[in-house]
Structure 1
Amino acid sequence: MLVPVIDDFAKEYLHSDLREIREAMLRKLDGLSEYDIRRPLTSTGTNLLGLVKHLSVSESRYFGEVFGRPFPESIPRWDDVEQRGTDLWATEHETREEITSRYRRVWEHSDATIAALAIDSPGYVPWWPRPDVMLFNVLVHVLTETSRHAGHADILREQLDGEVEMDAEAMARRGQDAAFWENRRAEIERAARAADPTTS
């Protein structure tokens, strides 16, 4: 009799965390120019709007076709070699609003799937080596992937303008202003150089 209670708790816990991290992803775009949300910030071209686009495509597949509930809009197929990687960046013709709105529509579709299914409902992921899954597996996978990309977005945003998503009031109370972080960075740099005698 306890199993359904635990299952319901796990489902709601994972789903709640997913809802929070999705919102955090979109906040990373706030206040930035079109160029800054699109520009490649790593050697492989990682960029903020591309991460949002990628997550919308990925999540739409996992909570859509995996459970026989396809997302109603056109998205690249997982096995379309020509489309691989195009979900990781935005063309000049794709607007911020178009990409973020699609992500929110994907959330609605995913949330409906999560609400409709039990945590042990079966699904099928044809691109996984062990394709037979349950909603639990997919919830954990999508939460992990979204959190991973949110971490990427944290670093990219900090590179762009120094913004970090922390409690600004609490940081101010602790004296963690720009000067604090500049001193902390210098302290870490000194420690790194001291640990490696080959640095000059």
Structure 2
Amino acid sequence: MSEQTVKADLQRYLQVGRDALLWKLHGLDEYGVRRPMTPTGTNLLGLVKHLAYVELGYFGETFGRPADEAGPWVADDGSRPNWDMWATAQESREDVVALYRRAWRHADATVEDLPLDAPGRVPWWDGERAQVTLHRVLVHVIAETDRHVGHADIVRELIDGAAGLRAGGDNLPAVDRAWWTGYRDRLERVAREATS
């Protein structure tokens, strides 16, 4: 398999995750995209903001291609925990989505310009682990993106019941709401039976 084919496969999986994350914002108002839905404050727009910085950092600083916008994330000293996991009132949804799309372009340019075995150094990783290749970073960022898309799946379902991979192809069984209610009730019964 050629390097270009491998790159194309990896980029396709990354793009599927990117698109799925942005789809989770569709149809929600400002409160809905910012609403903290877990005890740790997980919210949809914060996930987008975080992944924008992830891409800017890993595909920028790591390979000597820093993006000015990534500066606060790369230099983070831990004194402001989770600052990248939520959008301020002054940061509009459009601002955060535009940041994410700029991060995509920066990341895609890095992938386009460098071979998969290009060496890099992740400054926020310790020891030998910090020495990476573009291939390893691509796999890492795909995994991180998909992990956060999973979070977004659950957060969105909690907000309004929307679930699945994408609009028009949600990859869920073709059943009605009554079926889901019965299914959930059955799982609740089984969980209680298993603990008694």
2:118 to 117, 121, 127: 121
| Distance across 1 between alignment mates of 2:88 and 2:167 | 34
Give the ranges of 4+ consecutive aligned residues of structure 1 lying more than 6 Å apart after TM superposition. 167-171
How much does 1:169 deviate? 7.0
Match of 1:132 in 2: 131
How much does 1:36 deviate? 1.3
Matching of residue 109 in structure 1 with residue 126 in structure 2:
no
RMSD: 2.0
What TM-score do the two structures reach when normalised by structure 1? 0.89
Match of 1:78 in 2: 74
| Distance across 1 between alignment mates of 2:28 and 2:71 | 26
How much does 1:9 deviate? 2.8
SS at match of 1:76: helix
User: Gaps spanning 5+ residues in structure 1: where?
Assistant: none
Q: Which amino acid aligns with 1:151?
A: G
How much does 1:166 deviate? 5.0
Match of 1:94 in 2: 91
Match of 2:13 in 1: 17
Q: Which amino acid aligns with 1:54?
A: H
User: Gaps spanning 5+ residues in structure 2: where?
Assistant: none
SS at match of 2:39: coil
Percentage identity across paired residues of the two chains: 49
Matching of residue 38 in structure 1 with residue 34 in structure 2:
yes
Give the number of the structure whose alpha-carbon radius of gyration is greater.
Answer: 1
Q: Kindly indicate whether the alpha-carbon contact (under 8 Å) linking 2:32 and 2:159 is maintained by their aligned counterparts in 1.
A: yes
Change (3 A) 1:191 1:41: same
Query: C-alpha offsets along residues 58-92 of structure 1, whole Å, 9 cap, x if unaligned?
Result: 11000011111112435414343234411001111
How much does 1:107 deviate? 0.3
How much does 1:8 deviate? 3.1
